[in-house]
Structures are given as structure tokens and as C-alpha cells.
């Protein structure tokens, strides 16, 4: 009964998000639409600077890999990380091989989306990505920029944050990406 009520609540929050129009001039073939438990987030991907990473995110979205995946690491003033559709806790990746870095001179500013990786290897990005809450100049040239939030930063700001002192910024009972689609696939 509790699960049924939870499902109903998630659907209730998702319906208004699904009705939202997409931003004008959006390159729908290179945009991800994330309907989360807090609302809709639209990310314009940057295949001009990170073609392999953009293609991977679109591939995983089309396979449903990101559906019901939590924002497992959310650190106030820094970033919100998601994309572990294997283990749901930040330790997993997709069935595909890791990607070689595609660093650019695009700075990590509020709303920029970057690919997460293992700290020991610049060529270990796979499925996980993060959205910047604030500027993060220490990440410049260290992580692949994959896109920019073009709608829904207010939604990102509402994501449940880790409690102070939480190891690695992990979140208890985190918000989720309910459904992730490539914008051009939405009917």
C-alpha cells in the first residue's frame, strides 16, 4: 500500500513536468529531457566539444538506463551527481566501455553538466554525470563538459542535498530521474 501511494505521488509530480513545453531553439536531437521527482530539467548536449560523451548519454537514455536513477551525490554549493543505473549508489556504470576524456576550454559554471569519472583515471567516464550548482574552476580541464542546463535550474536547486558531514556527499532517500529521454524522441 505504501509503495502504491509512493508511485501515485511520483506520477502526480511527473504529470505537470510532462506537460511543460521545451525551450525555443532547442537542438532536440542533442538534448536530454529529465523528468525528476522535483520537476523537469532540460540539458543541451555539446557534441561539438564532446561527441563520444554526448552519444553515450543519448544511447543510455534511449535504452531506459537512466529511468528511476537517483541523484546519489548532491553537495550544496557544488554539484548534483547521477547516472548510476547499474548499482544506483555511484559505484556502477553501464555495460559499455569507459570513454576517453574530451576536455575543452569550456569552464565549469553554474548549470554546466560534466561527466563523472574515477579520480585515478581521466579516461574512466562511463554513464554518470553531474550538474553544477555554482562555479567550479578547480574542475576546468580536469573533467569533460558535456552540456548545459537550458531549463530547470530551479528544479536542480530543489534536489535533496546531502547532510553536512555525509561521506562523499551521499544522500539518504535521494530524489530521482523518473524518466530521461532524448528531446527528439518525445511524441
d(CA 169, CA 74): 6
Which of 141-179 are b and which e, b meaning 16 or more Cβ less than 10 Å from the residue's Cβ? eebbbbbbbbbbbebbeebbbbeeeeeebbbeebbbbbb
Residue 130 pLDDT > 90? yes
Containing H/E element for 43?
Answer: strand 39-45
pLDDT at position 168: 86
Average pLDDT estimate for 136-156: 97
Residue 146 pLDDT > 80? yes
CATH of residue 60's domain is 2.40.100.10
Residue 14 pLDDT > 50? no
Please tell me the total count of domains within the chain.
1
Q: List the one residue out of 72, 54, 49 whose CA is nearest residue 175.
A: 72
Residue 182 pLDDT > 80? yes
Q: Which domain holds residue 31?
A: 2-185
Average pLDDT estimate for 47-59: 98
Residue 86 pLDDT > 70? yes
What is the pLDDT confidence band of residue 88, given thresholds at 50, 70 and 90?
Answer: very high
pLDDT at position 2: 53
Residue 126 pLDDT > 60? yes
What pTM value is reported for the model?
0.89
Average pLDDT estimate for 13-41: 84
Residue 172 pLDDT > 50? yes
Amino acid at each position: 500500500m505504501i509503495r502504491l501511494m509512493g508511485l501515485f505521488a511520483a506520477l502526480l509530480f511527473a504529470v505537470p513536468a510532462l506537460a511543460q513545453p521545451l525551450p525555443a531553439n532547442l537542438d532536440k536531437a542533442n538534448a536530454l529531457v529529465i523528468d525528476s521527482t522535483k520537476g523537469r530539467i532540460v540539458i543541451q548536449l555539446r557534441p561539438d566539444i564532446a561527441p563520444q560523451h554526448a552519444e553515450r548519454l543519448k544511447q543510455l537514455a534511449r535504452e531506459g538506463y537512466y529511468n528511476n536513477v537517483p541523484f546519489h551525490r548532491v553537495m550544496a554549493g557544488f554539484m548534483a551527481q547521477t547516472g548510476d543505473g547499474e548499482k544506483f549508489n555511484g559505484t556502477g556504470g553501464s555495460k559499455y566501455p569507459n570513454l576517453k576524456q574530451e576536455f575543452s576550454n569550456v569552464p565549469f559554471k553554474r548549470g554546466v553538466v560534466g561527466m563523472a569519472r574515477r579520480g585515478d583515471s581521466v579516461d574512466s567516464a562511463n554513464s554518470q554525470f553531474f550538474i553544477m550548482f555554482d562555479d567550479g574552476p578547480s574542475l576546468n580541464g580536469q573533467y569533460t563538459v558535456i552540456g548545459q542546463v537550458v531549463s530547470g535550474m530551479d528544479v536542480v536547486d530543489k534536489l535533496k542535498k546531502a547532510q553536512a558531514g555525509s561521506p562523499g556527499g551521499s544522500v539518504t532517500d535521494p530524489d530521482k530521474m523518473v524518466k530521461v529521454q532524448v528531446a527528439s524522441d518525445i511524441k
